[in-house]
């Protein structure tokens, strides 16, 4: 056996349970049709769909806790940001948890622990740019061999035996592939502290594992130079690298010319930090690519900057590009493609279309033929405002879809400001008058104390749809997607000191400008500066390219319901701000949780898991949870009973997986 890699140690604790494993089954496990949940989104297509029907409108509100699994003991300290979505295969639930990203196997019916595995990464783990438990893992089987695959905080790909939790000796080096090596670049400054990682779940199709790359969060990078977010494919049996796709093209590759002044040589980021999706039938993988360095200033990388903020389709076996479409030219708005592309087989104008749909921070669903890359409905290049930041390069146009209509707010005007009362509206107008307002793609401005302080907009950072993405119903050809409308993005630029950054401009607020320091900082008497709805759930018909219905999602926040200025007023449900709202669609329901806790007279303080009729959008049930849902819900069936499992955490409540099912005798 080869020696274990340095600076890493593995620990697996296994428990023997009396429950026997079911019989072996055929390969190709990536479907929910058998009542399992074998991939991060149920399948590899981004669907988050299950045909299970036992839990329905008539009984959803009677759901009770089947089991719960607290993750506090999985790391050196409790975690308050549990974002995972578990898998369930052959009666076993697999999940990540804890501050050092342990993997656990639980009995899916009882929650009893079968085994736990954790890597001790030392300094490299402590320096991780994407720490904590991450969002999930992947499963693979050839019918006999079963593997669990995940990426550690220190950016290592680990393959575990699904039955025991032990590393697989024949995969990489003793079950591990160092993702900071063999990446067509030297990770700087070194392999321990070099800025690159991944907190998403690997995706597997046709025996190929595809891994993205992520970087430090933040809007003021220390340098215009950074490591590059290349995407790679690996052999699921051996861990051998099969291909690398350069998300920033190398010299001689198509797209290199879109980076003017040789800026492709030193610019970094441009990774895929969210979920990738695979069409196993066609043998294609779809990459939702993020922004280049940095998020709001691109003067050091003039040009359109391919493949920044593009959807890219690759051949799964070779990594060769089939097509791409750049959603934003020369990104300067932090409009990372933040959600998993959704693959859908639809019928448009009587013609069958294999489509791919991308929910976005812009609150726009971009829809393409996933074979050719051609837009399903016309996307028009429209002229946009040219900014005035010294040294910046601006694209004269941006692509705007004709269909579907935007499902979330983007840009800002005075008509968007709070208007519960004339007084509140007047205060909002006075605050907004110090900022630059405008439609989507209104550029950032140099922050000035006398005004404008910044561009005030929505979409960047925490607007629209973020990493939870959407869900797709293959029966009705409908995408269900949550969105946040309430978080203001305040985009001002300042010149940094040289010890802070070598960039000419970074985000910030001019000294003495006062107020509005960062997204979410603008309020009127403690209320959002924007009108409700603060959060929505939308159903988008992909056959027609139309929004079928939209509802406010989430209980009205306490700050609104109990506000002194609103006493005696009837305020319709506002929905809740917050971008961590994952959706699940079943035979009859769309299920999503509140992103905040609330306190009502008729129940304890907590957050609701809600069920909607997927055809009409009417809420048909709710279940109280002790904390907000912080991961996307999933569902499965064991021993004839349907379960829903969701991660909850936030505020003072540490991470916990909660499994719900109907009371005994009612299913």
Dump pLDDT digits (tens) for 253-281. Answer: 999 999 999 999 999 999 999 999 999 99
Q: Is 385 helix (H, G, I), strand (E, B) or coil?
A: coil
Res 652 pLDDT > 80: yes
Dump pLDDT digits (tens) for 336-355. Answer: 999 999 999 999 999 999 99
Mean pLDDT in the chain? 94
Report the chain's C-alpha Rg in angstroms.
24
Q: In the numeric block, which tokens belong to residue 640?
A: 């004839």
Confidence tier at 667 by pLDDT (50, 70, 90): low
Q: What is the CATH number of domain 9-410+458-488+530-661?
A: 2.140.10.10
pLDDT at 220: 85
Domain residues of the chain, as ranges? 9-410+458-488+530-661
What are the CA-CA distances from residue 184 to residues 39, 179, 187, 458, 568 (Å)? 29, 11, 9, 36, 64
Spell 520-543 as b/e; 16+ CB within 10 A means b: bebbbeebbbbbbbbbbbbbbbbb
Q: Are strands 489-494 and 455-457 parallel, antiparallel or unpaired?
A: antiparallel
Confidence tier at 515 by pLDDT (50, 70, 90): low
Q: Which residues pair with 406 in a beta bridge?
A: none
Burial (CB count within 10 angstroms: exposed 0-12, middle 13-18, buried 19+), residue 438: middle
pLDDT at 341: 98
pTM, two decimal places = 0.95
Q: 429 — phi, psi (to 5°)?
A: -65, -40
Let me know: does 108 contact 142? Beta carbons within 8 Å: no
Let me know: does 508 contact 218? Beta carbons within 8 Å: no
Dump pLDDT digits (tens) for 13-70. Answer: 655 333 333 433 334 558 999 999 999 999 999 999 999 999 999 999 999 999 999 9
pLDDT at 21: 38
CA distance 290 to 578: 20
Q: 415 — phi, psi (to 5°)?
A: -70, -15
pLDDT at 462: 85
Res 531 pLDDT > 80: yes
Dump pLDDT digits (tens) for 109-149. Answer: 999 999 999 999 999 999 999 999 999 999 999 999 999 99
Res 518 pLDDT > 50: no
pLDDT at 516: 44
CA nearest neighbour of 39 among 200, 233, 170: 200
pLDDT at 439: 97
């Amino acid at each position: 056996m080869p020696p274990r890699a340095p600076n890493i140690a593995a620990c697996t604790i296994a428990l023997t349970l009396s429950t026997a494993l079911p019989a072996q089954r055929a390969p190709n496990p990536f479907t929910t049709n058998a009542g399992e949940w074998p991939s991060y989104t149920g399948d590899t297509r981004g669907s988050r769909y299950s045909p299970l029907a036992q839990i329905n409108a008539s009984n959803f509100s009677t759901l009770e806790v089947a089991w719960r699994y607290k993750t506090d003991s999985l790391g050196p300290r409790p975690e308050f940001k549990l974002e995972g979505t578990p898998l369930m295969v052959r009666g076993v639930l697999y999940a990540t948890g804890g501050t050092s990203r342990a993997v656990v196997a639980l009995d899916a019916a009882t929650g009893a622990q079968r085994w736990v595995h954790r890597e001790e990464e030392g300094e490299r783990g402590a320096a991780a740019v994407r720490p904590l438990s991450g969002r999930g893992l992947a499963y693979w089987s050839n019918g006999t061999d079963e593997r669990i695959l995940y990426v550690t905080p220190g950016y290592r790909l680990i393959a575990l035996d699904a039955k025991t939790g032990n590393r697989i000796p024949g995969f990489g080096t003793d079950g591990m592939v160092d993702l900071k090596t063999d990446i067509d670049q030297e990770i700087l400054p070194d392999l321990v502290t070099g800025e690159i990682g991944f907190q998403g779940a690997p995706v597997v199709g046709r025996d190929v594992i595809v891994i993205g790359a992520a970087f430090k969060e933040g809007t003021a990078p220390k340098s215009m130079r950074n490591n590059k977010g290349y995407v790679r494919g690996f052999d699921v049996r051996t861990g051998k690298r099969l291909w690398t796709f350069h998300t920033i093209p190398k010299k001689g590759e198509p797209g290199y010319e879109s980076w003017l002044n040789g800026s492709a040589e030193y610019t970094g980021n441009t990774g895929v930090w969210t979920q990738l999706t695979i069409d196993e039938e066609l043998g294609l993988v779809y990459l939702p690519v993020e922004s280049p360095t940095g998020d709001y200033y691109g003067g050091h990388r003039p040009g359109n900057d391919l493949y920044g903020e593009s959807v890219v389709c690759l051949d799964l076996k070779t990594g060769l590009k089939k097509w791409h479409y750049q959603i934003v030219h020369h990104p300067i708005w932090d409009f990372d493609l933040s959600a998993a592309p959704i693959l859908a087989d639809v019928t448009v104008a009587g013609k069958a279309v294999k489509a791919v749909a991308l929910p976005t921070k812009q609150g726009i669903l971009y829809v393409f033929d996933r074979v050719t890359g051609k837009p399903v409905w016309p996307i028009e290049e429209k002229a946009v405002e040219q900014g005035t930041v010294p040294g910046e390069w601006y694209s004269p146009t941006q692509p705007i879809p004709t269909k579907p209509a935007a499902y979330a707010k983007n840009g800002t005007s005075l008509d968007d400001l709070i208007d519960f009362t004339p007084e509140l509206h007047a205060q909002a107008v006075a605050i907004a008058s110090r900022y630059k307002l405008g439609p989507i793609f209104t550029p950032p401005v140099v922050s000035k104390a006398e005004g404008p302080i910044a561009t005030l907009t929505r979409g960047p950072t925490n607007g629209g749809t973020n990493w939870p993405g959407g869900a797709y119903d293959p029966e009705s050809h409908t995408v269900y997607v949550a969105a946040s409308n309430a978080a203001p993005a305040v985009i001002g630029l300042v010149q940094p000191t040289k010890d802070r950054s070598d960039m000419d401009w970074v985000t910030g607020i001019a000294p003495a400008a006062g107020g509005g320091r960062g997204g979410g900082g603008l309020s009127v008497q403690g209320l959002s500066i924007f009108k409700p709805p603060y959060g929505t759930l939308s159903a988008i018909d992909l056959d027609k390219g139309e929004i079928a219905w939209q509802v406010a999602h989430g209980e009205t926040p306490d700050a609104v319901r109990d506000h002194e200025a609103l006493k005696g007023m009837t305020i319709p449900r506002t929905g809740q701000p917050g971008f961590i709202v994952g959706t699940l669609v079943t035979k009859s329901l769309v299920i999503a949780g509140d992103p905040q806790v609330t306190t009502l007279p008729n129940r304890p303080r907590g957050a609701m898991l809600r069920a909607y009729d997927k055809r009409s959008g009417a809420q048909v049930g709710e279940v109280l949870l002790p904390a907000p849902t912080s991961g996307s819900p999933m569902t499965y069936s064991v021993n004839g009973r349907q379960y829903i499992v969701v991660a909850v955490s936030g505020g003072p409540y540490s991470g916990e997986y909660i499994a719900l099912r109907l009371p005994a005798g009612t299913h």
